Amino acid sequence: MMSHRYHQHFTVSWDQLHRDVRELCHRLVERDFQGIVAITRGGLIPAALIARELNVRLIDTVCIKSYEGQDQGALEVMKGVDHDGDGWLLVDDLVDTGKTARKVREMLPRAHFVTVYAKPEGRPLVDQYLTEVAQDCWIQFPWDMGVTYVEPLADRIKR
Ligand SMILES: O=P(O)(O)OC[C@H]1O[C@H](OP(=O)(O)OP(=O)(O)O)[C@H](O)[C@@H]1O
Ligand SMILES: O=c1[nH]c(=O)c2nc[nH]c2[nH]1
Ligand SMILES: [Mg+2]
């Protein structure tokens, strides 16, 4: 079910995500990073794709959770890192309200923080992002979806 905050969906396929991450990498490739910190879980797949493009092999995680489906709950940090992010690329799939980003910025103030998608409230908290998405739009990621049967239009209309 859609929470009251979200009135539309932006569905991202695996192909689209891969293209978007590669596009983001074009804007990162001139920089030097000693490693990548992925914000789990959503940051893991973008981080893996970025690591491949930028030829980075050192990957760490900040493990953090705040949403249960579309409902935002209390922020729970399960694992941090023991540095301030200097020379590191910090990656998440998206920034929405910015609550997660604010917390991770406190933990790694010197990291270069990127997301693939950004909504207006969270956008000022990241250094770079690829695509802006409306605040009331729920981004539907490919790992949360599956291929399913769709009834022919004619049958649906007859009901
Ligand atoms: O800007 P915010 O309002 O804080 O929302 C953005 C965060 O929410 C999602 O993570 P979630 O807590 O759902 O965990 P997940 O990455 O494991 O899916 C998403 O991956 C971001 O990390
Ligand atoms: O899959 C997701 N899509 C979103 O739009 C979103 N916002 C916060 N957390 C989110 N997770
Ligand atoms: Mg997340």
pLDDT in tens, 23-42: 999 999 999 999 999 999 99
What's the whole-number mean pLDDT along residues 113-134?
98
Does the active-site annotation cover 96? yes
What's the whole-number mean pLDDT along residues 61-83?
92
Q: Complex ipTM, two decimals?
A: 0.98
**Cβ-Cβ contacts under 8 Å for 145 (sequence gap 6 or more):** 11
Indicate which residue of 20, 32, 82, 96 is catalytic. Answer: 96
Cα separations in angstroms, 140 against 73, 117, 121: 19, 11, 18
Is the domain defined by 8-147 classed in CATH 3.40.190.10?
A: no
- Domain ranges in the chain are 8-147
Does the active-site annotation cover 71? no
What's the CA-to-centroid distance between 32 and ligand 3, angstroms?
25
**pLDDT-based confidence at residue 159 (cuts at 50, 70, 90):** low
Contact predicate 37/89, CB 8 Å: yes
Whether the per-residue pLDDT at 55 is higher than 80: the answer is yes
What's the CA-to-centroid distance between 32 and ligand 1, angstroms?
26
Pocket test for ligand 1, best of 67, 126, 133 (most atoms within 8 A of CB): 67
> H-helix or E-strand containing 73?
strand 71-79
Which residue in 19, 31, 11, 58 sits closest to 113, CA to CA? 31
Cα separations in angstroms, 45 against 27, 48, 120, 154: 18, 5, 23, 38
Which residue in 94, 103, 154, 84 sits closest to 129, CA to CA? 94
Indicate if ligand 1 lies below 6 Å from the C-beta of 5.
no
- Specify the amino acid at residue 34: Q
- Residue 98 marked ligand-binding: yes
Q: What is the pLDDT of residue 73?
A: 87
Q: What is the pLDDT of residue 71?
A: 87
Ligand 1 atom nearest residue 96's Cα: 1
The residue written with tokens 């990656």 in the block is 91
What's the whole-number mean pLDDT along residues 113-120?
98
What's the whole-number mean pLDDT along residues 3-17?
94
pLDDT in tens, 133-149: 999 999 999 999 999 99
Question: What backbone torsions phi and psi does residue 25 show, to the nearest 5 degrees?
Answer: -65, -35
Q: What is the pLDDT of residue 137?
A: 98
Q: What is the pLDDT of residue 92?
A: 98
pTM: 0.94
What's the CA-to-centroid distance between 67 and ligand 1, angstroms?
6
Mean pLDDT in the chain? 95
Indicate if ligand 2 lies below 6 Å from the C-beta of 141.
yes
Contact predicate 142/14, CB 8 Å: yes
In this predicted model, which residue has the larger pLDDT, 59 or 158? 59
Indicate which residue of 32, 86, 93, 136 is catalytic. Answer: 93
Q: What is the pLDDT of residue 1?
A: 54
- Alpha-helix runs per DSSP H in 13-55: 14-26, 44-54
The rounded distance, in Å, linking the Cα atoms of 116 and 131 is: 6
Q: 122: which 2 tokens?
A: 């969270």
CA atoms within 13 A on the CB side of 146: 2
Whether the per-residue pLDDT at 70 is higher than 80: the answer is yes
Does the active-site annotation cover 92? yes
